[in-house]
Structure 1
C-alpha cells in the first residue's frame, strides 16, 4: 500500500512510477539490492503468466550473471514484454540502456509496475489467478491476451 500512495495515476503509455523511485517501496528496494534474482524471478513469473516459476527464473538470471555478467540483457527482454502488455511507450534501445546502466532501478520499476497493476507479487501467478477467480473474475490488471495462431 505504501508504494501505491506514491504512484501517479495510471496513464496510457506511461510507467506508473518513475525510473528512480526505488525508495517508494523500501522492502523491494532492499531485496533487489541484495539479491536481484528474487525481484527478477517474481517479475518473470507474472509477465510469463506462470509458464516459468519464480525460483527457476531467478536461478537462471543468477546463473547468467555468474557466467557472463550480462543478466541485464535477459531482464531487459522482460521490460519490453511489460511495455507491450500494458501499451507503455518506449523502445528496445532505451530498455537496454536502462538495464545496462542501472539494472536495479529497472528491476524495481518493473516490480512496482506489476504491483500497481493489481498483482500481489508475493503469491506468484497462481495465487493471483486464484484471487481473481474468487473475486468473480473481476480483472485485476492482468496483461491483455495477445491473439495468435491456434491449431
Structure 2
C-alpha cells in the first residue's frame, strides 16, 4: 500500500502600507470629505460614536464626554492613541487644544486618517501543489 500526502499551501497576504509621520490632512481640511464633515457638524455625538466604533472602541464611548469637564477626555485619548499607533508626530498639548476647542474637526481628522491608512490585504496568488 502506498500512502499519498496532500499538501495544501495557504496563500500569504501581501500588505502595502503607507508610512508617514504626519496627519494625512489638516485639522480644518473639511473639504477632503464634505459628507463626513457635514455629519460631524450637525450631529457630532453621533459622528464621534461612529468614528470610535470604526477605530475598534466601544460605540458609545464618546458619550461619556457629556459628563466631562473642560477637556474632552475620550476625543483626546483617541487622538493620542491614533498618533502613537500610526507614528504621527505631534504633542499631547496640540491634541488637548484640538479636542477642546474644535472637537468636530478633531473627530473628522481622525476619521479621514483611518480611511487613509486602512491597509488592505491583497492575495497575490494561490497554488495547490
TM-score (norm 2): 0.69
Structure 1 or 2: more helix by fraction:
1
Rounded to whole Å, the distance in 1 between the matches of 2:105 and 2:83 is: 16
Q: Relative to structure 1, is the Cα distance of residues 70 and 41 closer, same or farther in structure 2, using a 3 angstrom cutoff?
A: farther
Which residue is equivalent to 2:10?
none
What are the within-5 Å matches in structure 2 for residues 23-38 of structure 1?
23-38=31-46
Q: Larger C-alpha radius of gyration, 1 or 2?
A: 2
Equivalent residue number for residue 78 of structure 1: 78
Q: Which 5+ residue runs of structure 2 have no aligned equivalent?
A: 1-17, 125-129
Equivalences, count: 107
Equivalences for 1:1-151 in 2 at 5 Å? 12-48=20-56, 52=58, 54=59, 56-57=60-61, 61-65=62-66, 67-68=67-68, 72-118=72-118, 135-136=122-123
Give SS of 1:110's match.
Answer: helix
Q: What do residues 26-62 of structure 1 show as CA deviations (whole Å, max 9, x unaligned)?
A: 11111101111222223222333xx52x3x33xxx23
Higher relative contact order (CA 8 A, sep 6+): 2
- TM-score, normalised on structure 1? 0.60
Which structure 1 segments of 5+ residues have no match?
A: 1-9, 120-130, 138-151
CA distance in 1, matches of 2:42, 2:64: 16
Question: What CA deviation, in whole Å up to 9, does each residue of 1:93-120 have, x standing for no partner?
Answer: 110011111111111100100011137x
Q: Which has the higher strand share?
A: 2
How large is the Cα RMSD of the aligned pairs? 2.6
What is the CA–CA distance in structure 2 between the aligned matches of 1:69 and 1:76, rounded to whole Å?
13
